[in-house]
Structure 1
Amino acid sequence: MTQLNDRIFGVLMLVLAVAYGWGATQFPVPFGGSEAVGPETFPKVLAVVLALSSLYLMFKPDPDNAWPKGRIILELVIAVLVLVAYTLLLQPLGFIPSTLLAVGTLCWRMGAAPVRAYVTGAVAGVVVYLLFTYALNLALPLGVLSVLEGS
């Protein structure tokens, strides 16, 4: 029965991957139109990875996958709530502060000391922001930090 759970989950994730990939193709073409890397590139890569992972689950399910119990369920619920809050705060707060809070909280929940967890979140936010902004030339929301941009 547990293998059937993996297969059903794999089918659902494959449907999500196809929908997500199709959604990425609906982004407007950037000005100039001939860029190799555009705003749809990262979502397309994620869709491919999700599709391949889904196929793996469907054709090679785990023979002994037990459902988590007790505290593990609580931690999973907290992780989902943190990720939902991250998506809701991304635009108003901006990428760096939202990432600091999300990554820091998730690291802390996984056992890191709070100061180290939130320093990791801050470093991750800044590094990924710089990578996307300067290496990939893709804009991420600045949110409250946009005040600093105007100075």
Structure 2
Amino acid sequence: MTFNDRIFGVLMIVLAVAYGWAATQFPEPFGGAESVGPDTFPKLLAVVLALSSLYLIVRPDPDNAWPWNRTGIELIIAVVVLLLYALLLQPLGFIISTTLAVGTLCWRMGAPPMNAYITGAVSGVVVYFLFSFALDLALPLGLLSFLEMN
């Protein structure tokens, strides 16, 4: 079933190109083209994804069958959760979206629902404060915008 790996590799190369192109659309950083800006990390991820995808195309796993059982369904659920996360990030804000996404993924991996969503909430708050205060990067607050400090 090397065909599955090759199809996946081609799809991931398309994603890498789209992701890399989107990173080039970010505004020019203040320090000029030589400084590290908001596009540096996405461009690096796009290159790593493209190289990994090429490896999948050239050297696919010879014994890789698509999981059409429960594992396949869980993978589809995870992709849907991540797509919804991306769509809801701006309107709901980082903390609420992250709570829902991480909580749902933890729950699907077997954690009790209460523990899963507590983990999601703690993750959302910790990462929000890390980005906002330690890295000085703004994340959307969405519904919690009343908490913004001016």
TM above 0.5, yes or no, is: yes
Indicate the percent of aligned positions where both proteins have the same amino acid: 75
> Which residue matches 1:67?
66
> Which residue matches 2:98?
99
CA distance in 2, matches of 1:69, 1:111: 19
The gaps in structure 1 that reach 5 residues or longer are: none
Q: 1:15-54 to 2 correspondence within 5 Å? A: 15-33=14-32, 36-54=35-53
Report the CA distance between 1:40 and its aligned residue: 1.5
Distance 1:9 1:139, change over 3 A: same
Contact residue 4 and residue 65 of structure 2 kept, 8 A: no
CA distance in 1, matches of 2:46, 2:120: 25
Q: What is the TM-score with the length of structure 1 in the denominator?
A: 0.86
Contact residue 39 and residue 138 of structure 1 kept, 8 A: no
Q: Deviations over 1:48-93 (max 9, x none)?
A: 2211221221222111111112322322222122112211211111
> Which residue matches 1:140?
139
Contact residue 99 and residue 124 of structure 1 kept, 8 A: yes
Contact residue 18 and residue 47 of structure 1 kept, 8 A: yes
The gaps in structure 2 that reach 5 residues or longer are: none
> Which residue matches 2:115?
116
Instruction: Quote the RMSD (CA, aligned, Å).
Output: 2.1
Q: Quick one: which amino acid aligns to residue 20 of structure 2? A: G
